Amino acid sequence: MALWRQQVCAVMRVRFLKLKHEGKFLRSILLFFGIFILPMLMIFIGFQLWDSSSFWEITASSYFLPTAEKIQNKSTNLLVFNDTGSEIEDFIAALKTQNINPEIALEKNITSIPLHNGAIKISLEGKSYRFTVMCSAEPINCFPMFVNILSNTFLRLFNSTARIRIWSEPFYGILKTEIKSDLFFICISYLLVLAAGLPPLFAVSSMEDYKLQARAQLRLAGLFPSAYWCGQALVDVPLFWAL
């Protein structure tokens, strides 16, 4: 057993040095590896880019003007109508912390005021406040955005530094799951082909030993056949699974 272990270690060292100094084998491995990995890498990068561009964050700045900024694009001021009979400075201050410039409405019927993307009406029913939101017909995702604005406003009123953020993923929820499933099976198929194509590359080196009759000479010198194949496997198998 001591002689067998010594022979295994010797064959393993020879195999390692041969792979290290054999540029043809390494080039073929890298070429084969690149041919199969590059498409998978491109698919993965493309999926990640599509995944990142398929949804966007809904922010109040897309609908309403930031504080002290002139009208641009389709943004308007946020219209606020106070029907509580008291001051609402805290509510206005909480809106401004979200970079929103509110406009106080003086008319009783705020639905008659044009050129606003949305409005909030604050009324008092008993001891409870009631918030009514109204959106113009053009802005998309206006009501989810209003719920987010009110939620963050309540957080500010209760002295919380937390912030709620929302995103939109139109027509993408079910499709995303299906694409991930298909991508998984594509990757598995590629890995199976890669795993099936690597062993012949390792066998080429053994075939060269056979042609040179190196293994036969080693056997005549007293090398155990099992020590020869085990020494080869101790290098080839970890390299194969590493790849």
The pLDDT, as a whole number, for residue 172 is 58
The pLDDT, as a whole number, for residue 9 is 92
If DSSP codes are grouped into helix, strand and coil, which group holds residue 74?
A: coil
Work out the number of other CB atoms within 10 angstroms of the CB of residue 30: 12
The pLDDT, as a whole number, for residue 8 is 92
The pLDDT, as a whole number, for residue 70 is 47
> CATH for 58-168?
3.40.190
Residue 100 has pLDDT above 80, yes or no: yes
pLDDT (mean) for 211-222:
78
d(CA 112, CA 214): 97
pLDDT (mean) for 17-32:
75
The pLDDT, as a whole number, for residue 213 is 77
Region at 94 (left for phi over 0; alpha for psi -120 to 50; beta for the rest):
alpha
Q: Considering only residues 91 and 47, tell me which one the structure prediction assigns the higher pLDDT.
A: 91
d(CA 169, CA 57): 9
d(CA 45, CA 41): 6
Q: Is 227 exposed, middle or buried (0-12, 13-18, 19+ CB in 10 A)?
A: buried
Backbone angles phi, psi at 106, to 5 degrees: -100, -25
The pLDDT, as a whole number, for residue 171 is 58
pLDDT (mean) for 74-79:
73
User: Which residues on neighbouring strands pair with residue 238, listed in sequence order?
Assistant: none
Q: Average pLDDT, whole number, for the chain?
A: 78
Task: Give the domain ranges of the chain.
Answer: 1-53+174-242, 58-168
Name the token pair of 108: 């009783």
